[in-house]
């Protein structure tokens, strides 16, 4: 009997501790996800209007907007996104001449080219002339004019393979619809890395003003 107590009781205590720790982790996880979902509702987004919706993509008109941007040496999503986010987030979280914090916006945009450029939209209330200078010289302010794009969405965590796959899907769909497009493709990411549910990503491509669907000209 004594031998049984020596072996069983410690195991019971260990199991109790395990389940307590597991419960704490679960509570923290749920709290973080609820905080993330609540935060998303308060984040200013890149304004656009849907011009026309198709089966797998839609045509949008984006407003002219101001962005902070940084050009990166890598064209691999994982490395470029980590490096770019660190630099731009550092600026808006106070890494500037006045230590001013600037509100986060959504989505984070990345150009899909040999040397990626990451961009954060500047909140509408902030004007270029009043923005504090960044501590890091590679950060630039970029005024993006109003534009028309085609956009395709996908969920989960993004990676190079997924981005390329949806880029090709978008090109195929545009070709099938007879819609001409430029070579200016971008990835848009809407979620923080720690968000698990309702993740949203998009690949968009700019359409030149004269490159419209034949039906739009009637």
Give the tens place of pLDDT for each residue, 177-206.
999 999 999 999 998 777 766 889 999 999
**Cβ count near 199 (within 10 Å):** 16
pTM: 0.79
- Residue 162's H or E segment, with its range, is helix 160-177
Q: pLDDT tens digits, residue range 139-159?
A: 999 999 999 999 999 999 999
**Residue 17, pLDDT score:** 74
Report how far residue 192's alpha carbon sits from residue 196's, in angstroms, rounded to the nearest whole number.
9
The pLDDT-based confidence of 126 (bands split at 50, 70, 90) is very high
CA angle 181, 182, 184 (to 5 degrees): 130
Axis crossing angle, helix 77-92 with helix 160-177, rounded to the nearest 10: 100
Q: Which pLDDT band, with edges at 50, 70 and 90, does 212 fall under?
A: very low
Instruction: Tell me which of 34-38, 77-81, 107-111, 158-162 is least confident.
Output: 34-38
Q: Quickly state the pLDDT bin for 131 (edges 50, 70, 90).
A: very high
Which residues, at least 6 apart from 84, have a Cβ–Cβ distance to it below 8 Å? 70, 72, 110, 116, 118
pLDDT value of residue 213: 47
Q: Which helix (H) or strand (E) holds 11?
A: helix 2-41
Residue 39 pLDDT: 55
Which pair of structure tokens corresponds to residue 2? 């004594």
pLDDT over 60 (residue 215): no
Please report, rounded to a whole number, the percentage of residues in the chain having pLDDT higher than 90: 66
Pairing state between β 48-53 and 147-154: unpaired
Beta bridge partners of 58: 53, 151
């Amino acid at each position: 009997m004594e031998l049984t107590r020596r072996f069983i009781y410690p195991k019971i205590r260990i199991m109790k501790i395990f389940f307590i720790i597991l419960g704490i982790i679960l509570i923290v996880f749920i709290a973080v996800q609820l905080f993330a979902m609540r935060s998303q509702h308060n984040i200013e987004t890149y304004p656009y209007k849907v011009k026309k919706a198709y089966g797998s993509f839609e045509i949008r008109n984006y407003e002219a907007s101001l962005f902070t941007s940084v050009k990166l040496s890598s064209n691999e999503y994982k490395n470029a996104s980590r490096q770019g986010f660190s630099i731009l987030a550092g600026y808006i979280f106070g890494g500037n001449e006045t230590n001013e914090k600037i509100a986060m916006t959504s989505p984070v945009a990345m150009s899909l080219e040999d040397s990626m450029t990451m961009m954060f939209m500047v909140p509408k209330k902030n004007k270029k002339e009043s923005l504090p200078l960044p501590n890091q010289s590679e950060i630039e302010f970029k005024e993006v004019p109003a534009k028309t794009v085609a956009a395709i969405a996908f969920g989960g965590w993004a990676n190079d393979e997924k981005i390329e796959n949806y880029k090709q899907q978008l090109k195929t769909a545009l070709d099938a619809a007879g819609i001409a497009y430029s070579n200016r493709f971008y990835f848009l990411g809407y979620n923080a890395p720690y968000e698990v549910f309702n993740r949203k990503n998009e690949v968009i491509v700019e359409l030149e003003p004269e490159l419209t669907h034949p039906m739009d000209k009637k």
